[in-house]
Amino acid sequence: MRRYLFANVSASVLFLAVVLLLEWPLLLLLLVGARRKGRRDDPYDLLRRVRIVPAFPPPPERMRNEIPMNPKIVIRNETSADVGAIGEVTIAAFRTLEISNHTEQFIIDALRAAKALTVSLVAEVDYGRLVGHVAFSPVVMSDGTPSWYGLGPVSVLPEHQRNGIGYALIKKGLSRLKELNARGCCLVGHPEYYRKFGFENIPGLVHEGVPQEVFFALSFDGHYPQGEVTFHEGFKANGNQEGAGDAFSAALGRSKSGSLSK
């Protein structure tokens, strides 16, 4: 019995010694890999570092989850296939914004339903991932000045912010409005962000209930309306009501249509 036990233990020790001798590089790699926080979910990283896998491009699925350093940004009109993704981007962008009522996704849907999304642009990075959106819709000026539009909501996915995507969306949107013979654009927004596009606080042009320092306007023809601006009814949407936009459309009656072709 003793001899049998001794033989078994010896065989196990011998086996462990052989495993350690032959497989120690693998064990070392596993240990190093486990210590690398933040990359644990990346089997390719460890293999690439020890050159077991050379610099082959990783599989497409992995690339879709990465944020490219210099993504190729494409700004284009929304299509019906983008509707869901626009909602997701909008929710994500406004999620942590304290001043938000978190109704922006409903506003976009209401504007679309009322055919008041005059310009609706999306930002797409490599491989077709939608990361940003901006909407422009008609507004009513109390002094009767026609063809002015409101900018917003504008959203960029948090992990893609501060890469110039918001800037590109707004720039393109403004030039699209000019192509449509718009006379100007206004918005409620952060005092620091919109001046770079030429937006200014205009004395005598107000949005009821909004502090003057966060209400901005940009004229395309040099003329600034006076009085009060009314944004589309769709801005009241909170996910509960339907038919937003009817009253606004009536107010907009003198303008041929609430929506210009994109």
Ligand X SMILES: CC(C)(COP(=O)(O)OP(=O)(O)OC[C@H]1O[C@@H](n2cnc3c(N)ncnc32)[C@H](O)[C@@H]1OP(=O)(O)O)[C@@H](O)C(=O)NCCC(=O)NCCS
Compute the least distance from the CB of residue 209 to ligand X, in Å. Answer: 16
Q: Hey, what are 125's tokens?
A: 């990075």
Asked if 86 touches ligand X (CB under 6 A), the answer is no
Contact 131, 156 (CB under 8 A): yes
Write the burial class of residue 151 (CB in 10 Å: 0-12 exposed, 13-18 middle, 19+ buried).
buried
Distance CA 19, CA 17 (A): 5
Judged by CB, which is closer to ligand X: 192, or 208? 192
97 binds ligand X (CB under 6 A): yes
**Range in contact with ligand X (rule: CB under 6 A) among 80-88, 89-97, 111-119, 203-211:** 89-97
Q: Is the peptide bond before 153 cis (omega within 30 degrees of 0)?
A: yes
Q: How many residues sit in the footprint of ligand X (CB under 6 A)? A: 19
Interaction between residue 103 and ligand X (CB under 6 A): no
Among 166, 184, 234, 245, binds ligand X (CB under 6 A): 166
Residues 85 and 194: their CA atoms lie apart, in Å, by 25
For ligand X, the closer of residues 35 and 162 by Cβ is: 162
Q: Which is nearer to ligand X, 46 or 109 (CB)?
A: 109
Report yes or no: 179 and 143 within 8 Å, Cβ to Cβ: no
List of residues contacting ligand X (CB under 6 A): 93-94, 97, 152-156, 161-167, 189-190, 192-193
